[in-house]
């Protein structure tokens, strides 16, 4: 099953509730929300930096489709 940006957002959007989120924060939220291993792998491949918001991830995830 293909990972989509919609599915990624469902697992990590809450990470941005209190401001920017690091890759490690995103991974922690994904794991705590029981994300599939494929999602964990995609997030783990992001550059290690702070992301101001969810949309700031899409530049690095251009290969991930928006939805089904």
For 31-42, the pLDDT digits (tens) are 999 999 999 999
Rounded Cα–Cα distance for residues 38 and 17 (Å)? 24
Instruction: Tell whether the model's pLDDT for residue 52 goes beyond 80.
Output: yes
Among 37, 27, 18, residue whose Cα is nearest residue 57: 27
Listed by start position, the domains of the chain span 5-57
For the whole prediction, is pTM greater than 0.85?
A: yes
For 3-45, the pLDDT digits (tens) are 999 999 999 999 999 999 999 999 999 999 999 999 999 999 9
């Amino acid at each position: 099953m293909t990972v989509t940006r919609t599915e990624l957002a469902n697992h990590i959007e809450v990470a941005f509730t209190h401001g920017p989120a690091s890759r490690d924060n995103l991974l922690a939220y994904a794991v705590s929300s029981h994300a599939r291993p494929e999602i964990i792998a995609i997030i783990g491949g992001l550059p290690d930096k702070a992301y101001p918001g969810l949309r700031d991830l899409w530049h690095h995830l251009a290969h991930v489709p928006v939805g089904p």
